[in-house]
């Protein structure tokens, strides 16, 4: 599947042009509903064509024809995640299948609409799971609403080939006379730890994995959850240099677990972690408000974001604020989108990211206004 990185977000959020097209749609991953994916996509492209009807953007019009060709790609449509994001700038088309449910959005403006993707990369819900057994190593990227398996070609393939487990198990059985029980030990059904020599070999193997992880995790500080049998986790923890390794593993042999099953087990661990972090940000916001270092007046927030004063932006999830910014910098908001309108919350988000700020999303009832911000310094 596709991995969306901070570098991708930076490129999207800093790009500005007269006509930038952003498309989002929810996608199905299994069952008869998968057929809905192409229908939704066709509808989204039709909507984009309507938006472009009065604009002088021939390069984007040509790209829409390229998008229509995707409808015939049967294999690609059969391998979707929870959401799809597509961005067109007249020269390049970029697309990501993302492990997060999204609303269907068609946005044409001077900036890309990046708010849904931002949630994947901020300290607000993204995590990874590395699942290790004797048979394979799998790496997953997850969020609250779902998980997808990443291309693991840069990781070692399995423990068996590296450690010659079959020979080791045979040796254990010969010396113990306990038959299949020791073989089950590696699959998480009990038994004693491997001997010192075998631990050293496993440690070397995990060092190999550790050296490969930066190819996937170098641009993030998201939590990493280990999934595997009990005795492997302490050895992995010794060798893993990634700061975000979670203290508690998913125990047991992960080979038979689907991505959704891995997600269910991992999210039970991650949900309280992210909830606590969001609560800490709310408490910090309240403290900053009392020191005149915070605001929930949107015009103040947006202007502060433009000048790099916003350290942390708090947004209501799933909410839009449609309007325009005139040449004098004054904001004009509308209850529903008008021609040439932009989502001003997205504009504030982009400005915050451009100046290395952080963004957190909250249920609408957690914030009194659509946006709030913690400032780096007073105006």
Nearest to 3 by CA among 129, 218, 148: 148
Strand duo 127-132 + 224-228: pairing? parallel
Nearest to 239 by CA among 102, 109, 132, 99: 132
Q: One fold for both 1-121 and 127-274? A: no
How many angstroms separate the first and last alpha carbons of the chain? 44
d(CA 49, CA 153) in angstroms, rounded, equals 38
The correct CATH number of 127-274 out of 3.40.1350, 3.30.1490, 3.30.420, 3.40.390 is 3.30.420
Structure tokens at 327: 């040449």
pLDDT of 102 reads 86
C-alpha to C-alpha distances, 354 to 50, 305, 308, nearest whole angstrom: 31, 9, 8
pLDDT of 111 reads 87
215-230 as b/e, with b when 16 or more CB fall inside 10 Å? ebbeebebbbbbbbbe
pLDDT of 122 reads 60
pLDDT of 233 reads 93
pLDDT of 183 reads 42
φ, ψ of residue 185 in degrees (nearest 5): -55, -40
Structure tokens at 136: 């394979």
Nearest to 12 by CA among 115, 83, 143, 99: 115
Structure tokens at 9: 């977000």
pLDDT of 161 reads 58
333-346 as b/e, with b when 16 or more CB fall inside 10 Å? eeeeeeeebbbbbb
List per-residue pLDDT tens for the chain, 379 residues long: 577 877 888 889 889 888 899 999 999 887 888 888 999 999 999 999 988 888 888 999 999 999 999 988 888 888 888 899 999 999 999 999 988 888 898 988 888 999 888 877 665 578 999 999 877 899 998 888 778 888 888 888 776 655 555 554 455 455 545 444 444 444 444 444 546 777 888 888 898 899 999 988 877 788 999 999 988 999 999 999 999 999 999 999 998 888 889 999 999 999 999 889 889 999 999 999 999 999 999 999 999 999 999 999 999 988 888 888 777 777 888 888 777 778 889 889 989 988 889 999 998 999 999 999 999 998 7
d(CA 262, CA 220) in angstroms, rounded, equals 21
Per CATH, domain 1-121 is 3.30.960: yes
pTM for the whole structure: 0.71
Where along the chain do its domains lie?
1-121, 127-274, 291-379
Burial class (CB in 10 A: 0-12, 13-18, 19+), 329: exposed
**Angle, vertex CA 114, rays to CA 263 and CA 127, nearest 5:** 25
Per CATH, domain 291-379 is 3.30.1330.30: yes
């Amino acid at each position: 599947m596709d991995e969306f990185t901070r570098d991708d977000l930076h490129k999207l959020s800093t790009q500005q042009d007269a006509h930038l097209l952003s498309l989002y749609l929810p996608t199905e991953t299994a069952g008869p509903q998968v057929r809905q994916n192409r229908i939704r996509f066709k509808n989204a492209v039709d909507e984009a064509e309507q938006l472009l009807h009065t604009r002088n953007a021939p390069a984007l019009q040509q790209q829409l024809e390229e998008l229509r060709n995707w409808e015939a790609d049967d294999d690609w449509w059969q391998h979707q995640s929870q959401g799809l994001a597509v961005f067109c700038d007249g020269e390049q088309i970029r697309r990501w299948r993302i492990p997060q449910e999204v609303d269907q959005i068609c946005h044409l403006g001077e900036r890309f609409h990046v708010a849904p993707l931002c949630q994947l990369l901020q300290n607000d819900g993204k995590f990874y799971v590395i699942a290790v057994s004797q048979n394979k190593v799998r790496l997953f990227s997850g969020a609250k609403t779902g998980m997808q398996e990443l291309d693991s070609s840069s990781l070692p393939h399995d423990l068996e080939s590296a450690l010659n487990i079959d020979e080791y198990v045979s040796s254990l059985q010969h010396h113990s006379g306990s038959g299949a029980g020791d073989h089950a030990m590696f699959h998480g059904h009990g038994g004693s730890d491997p001997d010192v020599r075998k631990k050293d070999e496993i440690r070397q193997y995990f060092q190999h994995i550790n050296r490969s992880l930066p190819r996937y995790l170098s641009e993030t500080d998201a939590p990493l959850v280990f999934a595997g049998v009990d005795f492997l986790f302490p050895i992995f923890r010794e060798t893993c240099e990634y700061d975000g390794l979670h203290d508690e593993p998913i125990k047991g042999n992960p080979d038979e677990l689907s991505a959704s099953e891995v997600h269910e087990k991992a999210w039970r661990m991650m949900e309280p972690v992210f909830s606590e972090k969001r609560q800490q940000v709310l408490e910090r916001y309240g403290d900053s408000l009392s020191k005149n270092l915070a605001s929930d007046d949107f015009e103040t927030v947006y202007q502060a974001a433009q000048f790099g004063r916003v350290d942390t932006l708090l947004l209501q999830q799933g909410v839009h604020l449609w309007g325009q910014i005139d040449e004098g910098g004054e904001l004009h908001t509308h209850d529903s989108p008008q021609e040439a309108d932009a989502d001003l919350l997205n504009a504030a988000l982009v400005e915050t990211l451009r100046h290395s700020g952080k963004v957190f999303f909250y249920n609408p009832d957690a914030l009194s206004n659509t946006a709030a911000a913690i400032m780096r310094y007073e105006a």
